[in-house]
């Protein structure tokens, strides 16, 4: 009786021991599977790709190359040679990139995607999409589809060009006269730009020293690119008295791009106008300058005539026989 119970207990112990051995074997086998290299696990096509920088800056100002680029890296994690096709879309801009390439097993290949913009484009952002897909695996069609895609941003950079035009480059005024001078300020850049407007310090000092009163109603205007100009007025009053003589004065108007001043160098354009202020004017006295010129011309002619007579007398004295 006791012997039978002992045999039953021993049998149960052996069964439990076998179960433990089986479970341990399964566990060890799973560890071996995890330890297998990743490249050995990839039985089909696989690919990954990265591109940097993720934002491409493109200058479109006069003289710029109009191009920008990003460098992409294609990685092949398999144990096979992969033929990879490259496709690029750039939201309407021209691009240059390789059509396809071969990537060795466990290797990486770099390539560039070049973007070309149009001259004077408006400041904006567009999307660049680069796609890589496996076409062959060891020169055979792949058993599965494998691809990778990267999106980048194309930034068309802002630039500034200022142009100024005077409506009246030359004006004749009387003393103590009010006058509004109009200037046209053009924005030939590719984005809205605040333009600082005014008169150069040296020009303003000279005019005020001569007795002019100057008023500039606005000091900054926001000008739309490549359309109608902004109109700026400069208000002046000529001196109360000018005296008997006329005088010429210059006014040096300027416009300056706020964007350019904040980005490395101020783009300023100037336009100079001439202000002719007449002296004291009395009706009927305009003949005096004419008479003065006639008298001066007669005096010069008389001196020349007398001079020629003297030279002839001296010549005859030197040659009495003639």
76 domain residue, yes or no = yes
pLDDT at 245: 78
Are residues 252 and 203 part of one domain? yes
Are residues 132 and 96 part of one domain? yes
> Among 116, 133, 156, where does a domain finish?
156
pLDDT at 12: 53
pLDDT at 246: 86
Q: How many domains does the chain have?
A: 2
How far apart CA 61 and CA 121 sit, in angstroms, is 9
235 domain residue, yes or no = yes
Are residues 218 and 121 part of one domain? no
Q: Is 154 exposed, middle or buried (0-12, 13-18, 19+ CB in 10 A)?
A: buried
Cβ neighbour number for residue 177 with a 10 Å cutoff: 14
Taking each continuous run of H as one helix and of E as one strand, the counts in the chain are 5, 18
Condensed to tens digits (0 to 9), the pLDDT of residues 246-261 reads: 899 999 999 999 999 9
> Among 135, 156, 177, where does a domain finish?
156
Q: Is 226 helix (H, G, I), strand (E, B) or coil?
A: coil
pLDDT at 264: 84
Largest CA-CA distance found in the chain, in angstroms, rounded: 189
Are residues 107 and 45 part of one domain? yes
Whether the CA torsion 24, 25, 27, 32 is positive or negative: it is positive
Q: Is 288 helix (H, G, I), strand (E, B) or coil?
A: helix
256-279 burial, b at 16+ Cβ within 10 Å, e below that, comes to: bbbbbeeeeeebbbebebebebee
How far apart CA 108 and CA 216 sit, in angstroms, is 64
> Among 244, 261, 277, where does a domain finish?
277
Contact partners, residue 67, CB within 8 Å, separation at least 6: 58, 114, 115, 116, 117
Where residue 76 sits, what CATH number does that domain have?
2.60.40.10
pLDDT at 322: 41
8 domain residue, yes or no = no
pLDDT at 241: 80
pTM confidence score: 0.67
Query: Is residue 270 within 8 Å of 256, Cβ to Cβ?
Result: no
Are residues 267 and 192 part of one domain? yes
Closest CA to 152 of 109, 88, 96: 88
Angle, CA of 5, 6 and 12, to the nearest 5°: 90
Q: Which domain holds residue 241?
A: 162-277
Q: Is 272 helix (H, G, I), strand (E, B) or coil?
A: strand
120 domain residue, yes or no = yes
How far apart CA 247 and CA 174 sit, in angstroms, is 10
How far apart CA 315 and CA 308 sit, in angstroms, is 11
263 domain residue, yes or no = yes
How far apart CA 278 and CA 132 sit, in angstroms, is 78
DSSP labels for 87-104? EEE-TT-EEE--SEEEE-
Show the low-confidence residues of the chain (pLDDT under 50).
1-6, 9-10, 13, 20, 28-41, 285-286, 290, 311, 315-316, 318-322
290 domain residue, yes or no = no
Are residues 241 and 184 part of one domain? yes
DSSP labels for 107-163? -EEEEEEEEE--TTPPSEEEEEEEEEEEEEETTB--SS--EEEEEEEEEEPP---EE
Count of alpha carbons within 13 Å of 94, Cβ hemisphere only? 6
Cα distances (angstroms) measured from residue 51 to each of 55, 71, 108, 125, 152: 10, 5, 13, 18, 8
pLDDT at 132: 97
265 domain residue, yes or no = yes
- Name residue 129's beta-bridge partners: 89, 151
307 domain residue, yes or no = no
């Amino acid at each position: 009786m006791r012997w039978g119970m002992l045999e039953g207990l021993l049998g149960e112990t052996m069964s439990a021991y076998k179960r433990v051995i089986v479970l341990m074997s399964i566990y060890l086998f799973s560890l071996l599977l995890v330890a297998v290299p990743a490249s050995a696990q990839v039985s089909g096509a696989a690919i990954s790709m990265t591109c940097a920088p993720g934002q491409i800056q493109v200058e479109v100002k006069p003289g710029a190359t109009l191009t920008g680029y990003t460098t992409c890296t294609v990685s092949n994690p398999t144990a096979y040679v992969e033929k990879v096709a490259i496709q690029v879309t750039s939201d309407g801009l021209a691009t240059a990139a390789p059509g396809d390439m071969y990537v060795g097993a466990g290797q990486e290949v770099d390539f560039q995607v070049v973007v070309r913009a149009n001259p004077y484009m408006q400041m904006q952002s567009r999307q660049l999409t680069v796609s890589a897909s496996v076409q062959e695996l060891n020169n055979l069609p792949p058993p599965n589809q494998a691809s990778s895609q990267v999106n980048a941003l194309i930034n068309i950079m802002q630039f500034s060009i200022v142009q100024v035009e005077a409506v009246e480059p030359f004006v004749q005024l009387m003393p103590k006269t009010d006058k509004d001078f109009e200037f046209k300020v053009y924005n030939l850049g590719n984005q809205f730009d605040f333009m600082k407007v005014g008169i150069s310090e040296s020009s303003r000092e000279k005019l005020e020293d001569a007795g002019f009163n100057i008023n500039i109603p606005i000091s900054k205007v926001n000008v739309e690119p490549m359309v109608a100009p902004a109109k700026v007025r400069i208000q002046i009053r000529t001196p109360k008295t000018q005296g008997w003589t006329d005088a010429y004065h210059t006014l040096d108007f300027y416009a300056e791009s706020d964007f350019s001043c904040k980005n490395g160098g101020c783009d300023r354009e100037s336009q100079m106008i001439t202000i002719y202020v007449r002296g004291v004017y009395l009706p009927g006295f305009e003949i005096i300058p004419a008479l003065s010129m006639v008298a001066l011309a007669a005096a010069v002619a008389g001196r020349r005539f007398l001079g020629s007579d003297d030279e002839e007398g001296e010549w005859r004295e030197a040659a009495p026989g003639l």
